[in-house]
Amino acid sequence: MNNETLLYAGFGAFSAAFLLTFVVRVITTERENRLKRPSRPIGKVSISKEDAEKIAILLKNNKRLEALKLLRSSSGRDLKSSKEIIDRVAAGNSLLEMVSFKEESESADGADHTDSSNELDRAAGSQSANKSISAECRKEIARLVEKGQKLQALKVYRQATGLSLKDAKDAIEAGEF
């Protein structure tokens, strides 16, 4: 081989390595940006202040699995939406932007009870979730159901309410949207 052939081979290897590094960096940056700027709303999660503090501490100590388990048990959310929240917080978003705190209320007997919107949703179908979606969103869901596009209606309803797939499907089928 002559020097010119070696030069071209070296330049080709360098170009391939540079291109591979560039592609990996673009993919990594895109994933981080997607986590920081969500493409779809998750909806606020209702948890106690104590649980929010515990989740923040767990994430600070790189215990994402334990934080995920605590978020799921505290909020009653499904695995996918809970994981998205944990991933976004780990990527730099504020946990406070994604949660609302359960309010402590005293009943007539003087005992403290915690209001859990997720339990209310399950007990009352999806009545409390219906209050949180706009009239425009309801019209869009009704239009999609009328056109026979139940899957798209289900997707819109889940994005608006943050309900699990089963709860959203039950609400759409019952016409409670």
Per-residue burial over 8-43, b if 16 or more Cβ lie within 10 Å, else e, is: eeeeeeeeeeeeeeeeeeeeeeeeeeebeeeeeebb
Residues 72, 107: one domain? Answer: yes
Residue 32 falls inside a structural domain: yes
Q: What is the pLDDT of residue 115?
A: 40
Q: Which pTM was predicted? A: 0.39
Q: What is the pLDDT of residue 95?
A: 79
**In terms of residue numbers, what domain contains 102?**
45-114
**Angstrom distance (rounded) from CA 177 to CA 142:** 8
Residues 104, 65: one domain? Answer: yes
**Angstrom distance (rounded) from CA 74 to CA 140:** 32
Q: What is the pLDDT of residue 69?
A: 92
Q: What is the pLDDT of residue 43?
A: 66
Residues 73, 52: one domain? Answer: yes
Q: What is the mean pLDDT of each run of 10 residues along the chain (177 residues)?
A: 81 87 85 60 76 88 91 87 85 78 48 39 41 79 89 87 83 79
Domains identified in the chain, total number: 3
Q: Are 118 and 154 a contacting pair, CB within 8 Å?
A: no
Which residue is associated with the tokens 């730099």? 92
Residues 75, 132: one domain? Answer: no
Residues 63, 108: one domain? Answer: yes
Q: What is the pLDDT of residue 66?
A: 93
